[in-house]
A and B are shown apart, each in its own frame.
Chain A
């Protein structure tokens, strides 16, 4: 009962934290999608040097902890007067971009080669065929892993707490240390994360359904 009253008392602050978590993640993923598409195209360009650049980027992202990446954006770019929000967003986007690049590359390469040949045989340029034929199909295929990546990003955004942003996790630890009752607030924040992830899972499922209607 005590836990429930803590939950009720703290909800305005947690909701604010949840909103911030949501904003961080959505903006980061949107930028990550742009980055991901760009590097996916480098990877399938067939130009060795461009492929190496994409490989290097993916290697750097995979080989270093996300928290380090976020700190680099925050402290490393002080010259640009980077706000906390944008440091976290860019850190998350930089990080997720690598995974999204691999998702897009896989999705594009999973489209039957015949689709490109059919487009080309009709006089379409490679670029036009990508835009009109390959990418629309690849995006559909990328939806499930992309949704998955988004869920990972929601949880990863908790690292923003380490540079002092009051997103969900920081709200929880602050309440925890002020009340000497970490456990209650960690369980509370877990509930908020579960709600966020649940809502988003439903959203992805809805979008997937809408897309598959036309197949």
Chain B
């Protein structure tokens, strides 16, 4: 197994006005690893992902993606975003486009992939997420779980080097969580590098290579899931785990 570093965050800081949301965040994500971010609401988990995708611009610190230190001033941020897939809690599918149009949109208009090739690839992705029969359906007609799987396929269509998931199952009815987690597991098994914000501790235990517990904008504890879940070093982590497990 190669263990080259895919994403590295060093001393990341971010404030919204007076609110210091991220404080000296350090995270290293190795290629093909799954890192899960856990922590209470408002602890800054989403903001980390959004900084990684440059939907928010950091105040200080380094963000290194694929060995390249990325600075908004000097890099084409659209290029970086195309290499980093993002899946949102509320899917954000394009409601005026069919499922397959959602998926081919960015490859065709950003990467200029020829139409036939883009559609071919989209069909393969739909097969992979188990939605081949929904190709020409509009998102409004899908269940939440189906929407999220389309959103995953849409992000994968850009062939990202790393996938970011921000609470991908939090908006779903309980009976639909499983299908999305299964899709994510398969993705992890194929060797996709993933950073996942989640409240699904079962998923984190089973799939994560590394778990990061956040509180108040800081990383309180990080380690392999067996350690963080079974043997937390910090009192805060224990309290949090007791409250959610």
Contact = CB atoms under 8 A, between A and B. Distances in A.
Interface in B67-120: 78-79, 81-86, 88, 90, 92-96, 105-106, 109-111
B110 A120 contact: no
B53 interface: yes
B152 to A, nearest CB: 13
A215 B81 contact: no
Nearest to B94: A133
Interface in A22-55: none
B94 A118 contact: yes
Given A133-B94, A140-B96, A118 B110 contact: no
B138 interface: yes
A215 B138 CA distance: 6
Nearest to B157: A122
Contacts of B155: 121-122
B81 A121 contact: yes
Interface string A110-144: 00101101101111110010001100110010000
Contacts of A215: 95-96, 138, 140
Nearest to A117: B55
Q: Which of A122, A125, A133 has the most CB of B within 10 A?
A: A122
Given A118-B94, A137-B95, A123 B88 contact: no
Contact of B79 (A114, A115, A123): A123
Given A122-B82, A123-B81, A123-B158, A128 B110 contact: yes
Given A122-B110, A128-B109, A137 B96 contact: yes
Contacts of A132: 105, 109
* Interface-centre pick from A121, A124, A133, A137 (highest chain B CB count, 10 A): A121
Nearest to A133: B94
B96 A120 contact: no
A121 B53 contact: yes
A214 interface: yes
B154 interface: yes
A120 B56 CA distance: 12
Contacts of B53: 121
Nearest to B85: A121
Interface centre among A123, A124, A136, A214 (most CB of B within 10 A): A123
Contacts of A115: 92, 94
A118 B88 CA distance: 8
Contact of B96 (A114, A118, A214): A214
Contacts of A214: 96, 138
Nearest to A140: B96
A114 B78 contact: no
A76 B94 CA distance: 47
B23 to A, nearest CB: 24
Nearest to B98: A214
Contact of B82 (A123, A136, A137): A123
Interface in B117-170: 138, 140, 154-155, 158
A112 B158 CA distance: 23
Contacts of A123: 78-79, 81-83, 106, 110-111, 158
A122 B158 contact: yes
Contacts of B140: 215
Nearest to B95: A215
30 contacts: A114-B88, A114-B90, A115-B92, A118-B88, A118-B93, A120-B78, A120-B81, A121-B53, A121-B55, A121-B85, A121-B88, A122-B82, A122-B105, A122-B110, A122-B155, A122-B158, A123-B79, A123-B83, A123-B106, A123-B158, A124-B105, A124-B110, A128-B109, A128-B110, A133-B94, A136-B96, A137-B96, A140-B96, A215-B138, A215-B140
Interface of A: 112, 114-115, 117-118, 120-125, 128, 132-133, 136-137, 140, 214-215
